[in-house]
Amino acid sequence: MERPIDVLNNAKGKRVLLRLKKGIEISGVLQAMDLHLNMWLEHAELVDSEGKTKLGTVLVRGDNILYVSPEKSE
Amino acid sequence: MERPIDVLNNAKGKRVLLRLKKGIEISGVLQAMDLHLNMWLEHAELVDSEGKTKLGTVLVRGDNILYVSPEKSE
Amino acid sequence: MERPIDVLNNAKGKRVLLRLKKGIEISGVLQAMDLHLNMWLEHAELVDSEGKTKLGTVLVRGDNILYVSPEKSE
Amino acid sequence: MERPIDVLNNAKGKRVLLRLKKGIEISGVLQAMDLHLNMWLEHAELVDSEGKTKLGTVLVRGDNILYVSPEKSE
Amino acid sequence: MERPIDVLNNAKGKRVLLRLKKGIEISGVLQAMDLHLNMWLEHAELVDSEGKTKLGTVLVRGDNILYVSPEKSE
Amino acid sequence: MERPIDVLNNAKGKRVLLRLKKGIEISGVLQAMDLHLNMWLEHAELVDSEGKTKLGTVLVRGDNILYVSPEKSE
Amino acid sequence: MERPIDVLNNAKGKRVLLRLKKGIEISGVLQAMDLHLNMWLEHAELVDSEGKTKLGTVLVRGDNILYVSPEKSE
């Protein structure tokens, strides 16, 4: 039986886009995640109304997340 | 005994409409879901006050959901 | 010992009215529910400030619910 | 050892007043309740800024409740 | 090992003051409480911006509470 | 393995400062705390936009807390 | 299998930056953390719209956290 979290197993080592409840977006290379959607990202960047900010390594608390999307390749 | 989540078992591989608490709507082809209503969608699209955005593959965190509806066929 | 949820056992197959925390109302024929008050409704309709919308089949996430009421017969 | 919920055991079959977090009040005859303060009321009435509305039979989700009070007899 | 809740064991049968998250205050004689801080009060009174209201017997849902304080004797 | 809560074990019997989510601050002598950060304080004082208020003995519900800080000695 | 929290194991004894949901930032030397992201920091500083404040030793309740980032070395 497939679980929703499985969509992220294929995304490990690839860039994912997190849209947070607060309207902020964070993108980064997915290193690890758990069932609460806590996520460890590398080379992360934050995008909000003030523009782009480099975050580097970051652990995002899962309860802030609206959705996660592996970046489209094409 | 039937459970509410069973309504989504028949919806797998079909397009569902998610209405989120924030007033945003996301539609997509249901790939997998769990009891928290975390949902993995393919060919997803987001509709908010700014219009339609293609999301592609997406994992929506269940606690954002107001309701889920399989798209009406007719 | 009677539980609050038992009031809905008699309501299965009948129309119930959900008042949500956000002020929205959804009515529909109750198909299944669980202890979180997740509810599967058929022939559902949403009523908000913009009027009535047919939803058809719908799964409402229980944490949105203020109260549920079986529709009065008389 | 007495528990807070015990105050409602004596209130079964009697009218109770629910004050909800949103400022709405619901009164009704207590039929059943559980530890989450989910409550099944009969002959329920809602009082908000727009006046009184008859609800009949109703199941109130406990997480909306600010406090519950058995109606004063005198 | 002392637990925070123990401070209320000595307060049983005495008047306590509840400050709620919404800015409302409720005082009453503590009859019973549990680990969620659900509280059964007797001779309760509510104080909000509109003044004082007698509530009589009341069960306050613990998740509304900011803090509880046994009334100062002197 | 050290746990975050251990920082408070050394603070027992000393004054701690609680900053709450609502912007209010409460300081008091730490008597007991648990893993939810429920805290029993003695000789407590509340500081908000209206000034300082003596609270005496108080039990603060942990879910209101932003952070706790043992008062700096120097 | 790597877990998101593991990113913080390497950060112990180093300065981390916490961005909180309320827009406040706290930085400090990470002493201990747990799975809820409760964090014990030393030499902590708070940055909000009013500027920088020294906090010294602090325990931040994990549910306030948006993300945590080990400070970039270069």
G18 close contact with F: CB closer than 8 A: no
Strand partners, A25: A19, A47
Backbone angles phi, psi at G7, to 5 degrees: -60, -25
pLDDT level of residue B71 (50, 70, 90 thresholds): confident
Inspect the interface and report whether the beta carbons of C34 and B3 lie closer than 8 Å.
yes
pLDDT in tens, B26-47: 999 999 999 999 999 999 999 9
* Among A34, D4, A48, residue whose Cα is nearest residue B61: A34
Give B-chain residues touching C32 at CB under 8 angstroms: 2-4, 6-7
More confident residue, G41 or A2: G41
Q: Do D69 and E59 touch (CB under 8 A)?
A: yes
State whether E2 and F32 contact (CB < 8 Å). Answer: yes
- CB G20, CB G28: distance < 8 Å: no
DSSP chain B: ---TTHHHHTTTTSEEEEEETTS-EEEEEEEEE-TT--EEEEEEEEEETTEEEEEEEEEE-GGGEEEEEEPP--
Residue with tokens 């009453």: E28
Mean pLDDT within C18-32: 96
pTM of the complete model beyond 0.90:
yes
Residue F25 CA to residue F71 CA, distance in Å, equals 13
Architecture (CATH level 2) of domain A6-66: Roll (2.30)
Q: Please, which residues bridge with residue B37 across strands?
A: none
Question: From CA B40, how far away is CA A8, in angstroms rounded?
Answer: 10
As a whole number, mean pLDDT of residues C24-41 equals: 96
Work out the number of other CB atoms within 10 angstroms of the CB of residue G45.
Answer: 16
ipTM of the complex: 0.93
Residue C1 or residue E19, greater confidence:
E19
Pairing of strands B15-20, D65-70: unpaired
Assigned fold of C6-68: SH3 type barrels. (2.30.30)
Cα–Cα dist D10/D1, whole Å: 16
C61 at interface of B, judged by CB pairs closer than 8 A: yes
Q: Which CATH class is domain E6-69?
A: mainly beta
Chosen CATH of D6-70 out of 3.40.50.2000, 2.30.30.100, 1.10.390.10, 3.30.360.10: 2.30.30.100
- All structural domains of chain C with their residue ranges: 6-68
Distance from CA of E4 to the nearest CA of D (A): 17
Average pLDDT of the residues in G55-74: 91
Q: What b/e sequence results for D22-60 when a residue is b if at least 16 CB atoms lie within 10 Å of its CB, and e otherwise?
A: eebebbbbbbbbbeebbbbbeebbbeeeeeeeebbbbbb
For the record, the structure tokens of G38 come out as 């409760």
Nearest CA in chain B to A38: B61
Region for E68 from its dihedrals, namely left if φ exceeds 0, alpha if ψ lies in -120 to 50, beta otherwise: beta
Average pLDDT, chain D: 93
Q: What is the pLDDT of residues G8-57, one digit of tens each?
A: 988 999 999 999 999 899 999 999 999 999 999 999 999 988 899 999 99
Is the distance from CB of C62 to CB of C34 less than 8 angstroms? yes
Write out pLDDT tens, residues A20-57.
999 899 999 999 999 999 999 999 999 988 899 999 99
Strands E51-60 and E65-70: unpaired
CB-based contact A66 B61, cutoff 8 Å: yes
* Alpha helices in D32-73, H assignment, sequence order: none
F50 and F42 in contact (C-beta within 8 Å)? Answer: no
pLDDT of residue E48: 87
**CB within 8 Å of A66: residues ≥ 6 apart:** A19, A20, A21, B20, B22, B24, B60, B61, B64
**pLDDT recorded at residue G74:** 44
Q: Do G4 and A64 touch (CB under 8 A)?
A: no
In this complex, is the C-beta atom of F73 within 8 Å of any C-beta atom belonging to chain G?
no
Distance CA A39, CA A25 (A): 13
* DSSP three-state, residue F62: helix
Residues in E touching D8 (Cβ below 8 Å): 59
Interface check D66 vs C, CB under 8 A: no
Q: pLDDT tens, A9-19?
A: 889 999 999 99
pLDDT at A73: 60
Q: What architecture does CATH give domain B6-67?
A: Roll (2.30)
Neighboring chain A residues of G70 at a CB cutoff of 8 Å: 56-57
Which chain D residue lies closest to E23 (C-alpha atoms)? Answer: D21
Query: Could you tell me the pLDDT band of residue B74, with boundaries at 50, 70 and 90?
Result: very low
Beta carbons within 10 angstroms of residue A12's beta carbon:
14
Average pLDDT (C52-73) is: 93
